[in-house]
Amino acid sequence: MSRLTNSPGFASKLRYSSKMPAFTLYGYRGSTNTDRVRLTLAEGGFTDYELVLLNLQKGEQKSKEHLKRHPWGKIPVITSSDGFTLYESRAICKYLATKYSFPLLPPDSDVEAAALFDQAQCVEMLYFAEPAGRIAFEKFAKRFMVLPPDDAVVSDALRLVEMFFDVAERLLHHKDYMAGNDFTLVDIYYLPLIQRLFACGYGDIIVSREAVSAWWDRCVNRPAIQRMLAADKEAAVAASREDKKPV
């Protein structure tokens, strides 16, 4: 059973266990990087952690306390009860999958599968996440900053994302997932930014490509991912109602 409580130093804390949690995840609701970690935990069926939501608008990620966790003042970060701290979403995901034996990594004994996983991870970071992240910043984040998007940046990034999925379309005709025929962390890495592309009105990049669309459906229709997305939707609706209440 989870419960949401207010915290003096942070926006909110969400505890997923009544006992001392295995670790604390510091993040921000709606952050694609935070969601990358949360999706990994959801797929692993892991609930023994506490989620602390920082208020980025108030600059809590730049506080002295948080800079001790992440020297660049970013999210997400995890800290364990024994003092171990780790930042950067993909590093966190791989650490958690390894430590808690989530079935999201190839076995170490399969050297070729592990190499293909590393290759797929590099591809996601270099050829997809970089331009997709620029689109998300210009078309989504800037709305909350009350700033206009830079259309030239968006146009160039869209061109690169289209080129990426042209290649992915060919590859996915011969495998079910990005790193092979098994669902892995690499597939999870894509999900938050693709969701953001849909939110920005660019979902056709995915659904217009047969193999890419089929891969996307296989990923987002996984039960654990569906449960998390549904819970987040309910939370967003509840938060919207709270914001509209008279003070």
Helix intervals (H) in 80-150: 89-99, 111-123, 130-136, 142-144
Beta bridge partners of 12: 53
pLDDT of residue 247: 52
Give yes or no for a contact between 122 and 114, defined as CB atoms under 8 angstroms apart.
no
Residue 222, pLDDT > 80, answer yes
Both structure tokens of 57: 């608008």
Name the band, by pLDDT with cuts 50, 70 and 90, for residue 240.
Answer: low
pTM for this prediction? 0.89
Both structure tokens of 15: 């505890």
pLDDT of residue 8: 38
Query: Which candidate, 38, 35, 40, 54, places its Cα nearest to that of 2?
Result: 38
pLDDT in tens, 60-119: 999 999 999 999 999 999 999 899 999 999 999 999 999 999 999 999 899 999 999 999
Show Cβ contacts of residue 54 under 8 Å, excluding neighbours closer than 6 positions. 10, 11, 26, 27, 28, 60, 61, 66, 75
Ranges of beta strands (E only) in the chain are 3-5, 12-15, 23-27, 49-53, 77-80, 85-87
Question: What is the C-alpha to C-alpha distance for residues 127 and 134, in angstroms, rounded to an integer?
Answer: 12
Question: What is the C-alpha to C-alpha distance for residues 89 and 126, in angstroms, rounded to an integer?
Answer: 15
Mean of the pLDDT values across residues 47-62?
94
